[in-house]
Chains A and B, each alone.
Chain A
Amino acid sequence: MNRVWIEGIGITKFGKRPESLSELILEAARAAIQDAECDEFDAVYVGAMNPDEFLDVSNIASVITDYLGLVPAPTMRVETASSTGAALFAAAFHAVASGDCGRVLIVAGEIMTRVSTIEATELMSQVIDADERRHGATMTALAALATRRYMVEYGLTEEELALVAVKNHDNGTGNPYAHFQKSISVSDVLSSRMIADPLKLYDCSPISDGAVAVVLTGTPGPVEVIGIGQATDLVAVQMRSSLTHFNSTRLAAEKAFKMAKIRPAEIDTAEIHDAFTSFEIIGSEDVGLFPPGGGRIALIEGETQPRGRMPINTSGGLKARGHPVGASGLAQIAEITLQMTGRAEYRHPVSPRYGLTQSVGGLATNNLVTILRSSF
């Protein structure tokens, strides 16, 4: 495979946005094109989880390529539920690594706030196995089942779990793209509305609009993509052998580290998919940063704080930055890139040589791990 670099990135502010999906994606794309200082692309990769139902829009890849003024470039839409942004990046990576494309534009976005919260929850529940849906499962309920099992096996308490939300909100203050830029306390989290016991409102990432764009090239640049791994798991949680760890992440991480030829201990910072606070702890273990149960210990000892030994979600994570589902996997890659190029405006950015992102599709049915290396 040929080597692949990130040449430019663009992110919109996440939150409740009045623009159309096309307008939001154009905003991100313009920023990425300006950052990369070029606008000629061999292909356009488009990611959105469900514009068909959130917005009644289809043929989205063609619609976006047209709106961006990039016709006649070839284009396709990639969809892997909530890891769409990361899978999209992987597909574009392969196009450049194969030598077929010299430069591609990757754009991912989601508008979720045009429907009610109930409707959005219902749409998100479509990723769940039919039998489990019939039993009333929602994404939060399935995450709660995993969370309680983790609590039983490793002694995690609700107060400790709240530390993830507090840390990520603190990290997000100062991130100009974040949906939430306000600190919260442990008691704010514990007193927030119970959604699916033990997960409360502040244990869950928000419903957000947002778009991200990345330019990938075969020409050396500031950030190199040195490893990507992807794997699936059984859709029905009851069919799996573990309720507290996600095999899809573990296999994806193994593949990514093998391709990158580095070890987990060499990672300087990680963006871990914290759609739920417990997923940050579980994800940090599944990618190999800590052993089983070690993610909890690292959290409570402050190791995952920005000044700690293994900073996680210094951008604010999905929790504070927001979670426009199709875009999050690409946003994580953009945030690591910002830190590697010294442009992150968070309260506590880091300067990583090696950065890792972990993206979760559905209830960990289709996950990706991506490893980047700074060229500086």
Chain B
Amino acid sequence: MRTAEAGEAFVAPAPLDVFKCACGYGTALPRVYCPRCRDLLRASTSSPWGAVLTWTILHVRPDGAREPSGLCVVGLESGINVMAKFDPRSKLAVGDRVAVALATDGVRWISRSAP
């Protein structure tokens, strides 16, 4: 579990807003064309649950902040991959079942692992 950073409201996992194509491709990032078939992407939603595909902990941060920060890619049940931050104090492993939540500043966080 991570704690909300100052000024941020922590939102519990809810369906994520995504963009999907009829061909099956999907992404959380705002794009016009499907990278797989070039058709137009349409607004949709996705389950926020998925499995950790890979992760890293940054010890040298671009903003110069001293505490380490966590970054991972989650493969959602819908087949969409999303990048999300995580609290490095909670150990993450490839394959862990997690949910992705959207903070009010638009940043995605790992909100909790399934029991």
Contact = CB atoms under 8 A, between A and B. Distances in A.
Nearest to A129: B29
A-side interface mostly: helix
Given A137-B71, A138-B62, A152-B94, A197 B35 contact: no
B108 interface: yes
B84 interface: yes
Interface in B23-78: 27-29, 31, 35, 53-64, 69, 71-73
A196 B58 CA distance: 4
Nearest to B54: A149
Interface size class of A (residues with CB under 8 A): 35 or more
B101 interface: no
B64 A197 contact: no
Interface residues of B, number: 30
A289 interface: no
Contact of A243 (B28, B31, B53, B64): B53
A167 interface: no
Contacts of A199: 56
Nearest to A137: B71
B113 to A, nearest CB: 18
Given A152-B94, A238-B29, A136 B62 contact: yes
A131 B83 contact: yes
A373 B84 CA distance: 46
A141 B29 contact: no
B56 A152 contact: no
Contacts of A196: 56-60, 71
B94 A136 contact: no
A136 B71 contact: yes
Contacts of B55: 145, 148
A371 interface: no
Contacts of A133: 62
B59 to A, nearest CB: 5
B107 interface: yes
B56 A197 contact: yes
Interface in A169-201: 193-199
Interface in A124-156: 125, 129, 131-138, 140-141, 144-146, 148-149, 152
Contacts of A131: 28-29, 83
Contacts of A236: 27, 29, 83
Contacts of B31: 239
B106 interface: yes
Interface in A242-262: 243
A164 interface: no
Contact of A135 (B54, B71, B81): B71
Contacts of B35: 234, 239
B82 interface: yes
B20 interface: no
A373 B47 CA distance: 53
Interface in A57-85: none
A238 B99 CA distance: 16
A146 B55 CA distance: 9
B71 A145 contact: yes
B3 to A, nearest CB: 17
A145 B56 contact: yes
A152 B54 contact: yes
Nearest to A125: B62
B56 A141 contact: yes
A53 interface: no
Interface string B97-111: 000000000111000
A366 B29 CA distance: 20
Contact of B60 (A129, A137, A140, A148): A140
Interface of A: 118, 121-122, 125, 129, 131-138, 140-141, 144-146, 148-149, 152, 193-199, 234, 236-240, 243
Interface of B: 27-29, 31, 35, 53-64, 69, 71-73, 81-85, 94, 106-108
19 contacts: A118-B64, A131-B83, A134-B107, A136-B62, A136-B63, A137-B71, A140-B60, A145-B55, A195-B58, A196-B58, A197-B57, A197-B59, A199-B56, A234-B35, A236-B29, A238-B29, A238-B83, A243-B54, A243-B73
Given A135-B83, A148-B54, A196-B59, 8 more contacts: A121-B60, A121-B62, A125-B62, A136-B71, A136-B85, A148-B94, A196-B71, A197-B57
